[in-house]
């Protein structure tokens, strides 16, 4: 898969993006503003704009490359958007695509000089709460990601897809999510709201969510150091299954390439054409005398 990503990087590297207003997410400009304002964390995903905003894939990869160079130079932690895949695809059946995308985002970040410590790779607690042993599968996913990316401040998203407006069940769902977050040492944990699917949360709703998290984080502070997982049990077996499927997917992508995979709808069940979407008219081949001194300067300073 690294070879396939190198080929994508080489192809994208032949082009430069010209600013044309309203054609894309303008990630480098946003990254520059965030750096100037001293932000700690910023959303920066290599595939999100392609899948969910219909930004052209070539445009997006050019943008994300330079924006990540800026973030790396400025010490800004990025977070990626794999959690969104599970709002359009089943979280149990398509869990391996989240892991595969995390691997891709990691490698593209390394290409831009962004260290693991600044990569908030994303995932989410989004399985159907009526799924038998769903908590164990969610725990397997979170623990697997923590072990695979030990230095990354993982971004863990709360349940949203199966929040129904029942605030009492929703609060329990958020509590289970908080338990796994503390158990597996997630780095960037967004808090769920009991009124998800009803309205934009009030301050009182936010207070309940913070109270929920603080209680669990304190009361279960060292559970991750105290509990071991059963060899051959549900949790370890599920993690091995997801990793195996992710490996198979990446091996298949090695031959066909990232662009083709995106055209087939491998991620989030969303298909995007290589030459479609917004912003391609703002991409042009680099001229013979093109020179950008900032790339190597920013990538070289740590």
**258 burial type by CB count under 10 A (0-12 exposed, 13-18 middle, 19+ buried):** buried
Evaluated on CA atoms 92, 94, 96, 102, the torsion sign reads negative
Write down the H helix ranges in the chain.
2-13, 27-37, 48-53, 57-74, 85-88, 95-111, 134-148, 167-183, 203-219, 223-226, 234-256, 258-264, 293-300
Quote the CA–CA distance of 126 and 88 in Å, as a whole number: 11
Confirm whether 92 is a catalytic residue. Answer: no
For the question of residue 155 being annotated catalytic, the response is yes
SS3 state of residue 282: helix
Do the beta carbons of residue 167 and residue 194 sit within 8 Å?
A: yes
Cα–Cα distance, 284 to 289 (Å, whole number)? 14
CB 180 within 8 A of CB 154: no
Among residues 65, 137, 155, 174, the one annotated as catalytic is 155
How far is C-alpha 266 from the chain's CA centre?
A: 15
- For the chain, the maximum distance between any two Cα atoms, rounded to a whole number of angstroms, is 63
Q: 45, 63, 65, 83: which one is catalytic?
A: 83
> What tokens appear for 150 in the block?
């030990």
Nearest CA to 231 out of 239, 242, 243 is that of: 239
Q: Is 15 exposed, middle or buried (0-12, 13-18, 19+ CB in 10 A)?
A: middle
Nearest to 279 by CA among 50, 104, 98, 102: 50
Residues with a catalytic annotation lie at 48, 83, 155
């Amino acid at each position: 898969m690294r070879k396939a990503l190198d080929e994508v990087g080489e192809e994208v590297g032949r082009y430069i993006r010209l600013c044309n207003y309203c054609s894309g997410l303008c990630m480098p400009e946003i990254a520059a503003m965030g750096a100037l304002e001293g932000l700690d964390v910023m959303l920066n995903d290599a595939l999100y704009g392609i899948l969910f905003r219909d930004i052209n894939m070539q445009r997006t990869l050019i943008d994300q490359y330079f924006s990540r160079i800026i973030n790396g130079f400025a010490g800004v932690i990025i977070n990626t958007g794999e959690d969104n895949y599970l709002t359009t695809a089943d979280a149990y059946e398509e869990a391996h695509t989240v892991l595969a995308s995390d691997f891709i985002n990691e490698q593209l970040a390394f290409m831009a000089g962004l260290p693991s410590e600044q990569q908030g790779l994303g995932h989410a607690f989004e399985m159907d709460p009526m799924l038998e042993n769903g908590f164990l599968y969610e725990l397997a996913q979170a623990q697997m990601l923590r072990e695979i990316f030990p230095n990354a401040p993982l971004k863990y998203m709360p349940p949203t897809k199966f929040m129904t407006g029942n605030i009492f069940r929703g609060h329990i769902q958020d509590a289970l999510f908080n338990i796994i977050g503390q158990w597996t040492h997630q780095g960037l944990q967004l808090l769920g709201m009991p009124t998800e699917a009803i309205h934009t949360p009030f301050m009182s709703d936010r207070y309940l969510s913070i109270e929920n998290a603080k209680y669990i984080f304190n009361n279960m502070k060292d559970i991750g150091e105290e509990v071991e997982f059963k060899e051959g049990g549900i949790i370890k077996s599920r993690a091995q299954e997801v990793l195996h499927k992710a490996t198979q997917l990446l091996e298949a992508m090695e031959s066909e390439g990232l662009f083709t995979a995106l055209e087939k709808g491998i991620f989030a069940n969303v298909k995007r054409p290589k030459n479609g979407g917004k912003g391609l008219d703002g991409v042009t081949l680099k001229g013979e005398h093109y020179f950008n001194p900032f790339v190597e300067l920013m990538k070289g300073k740590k």
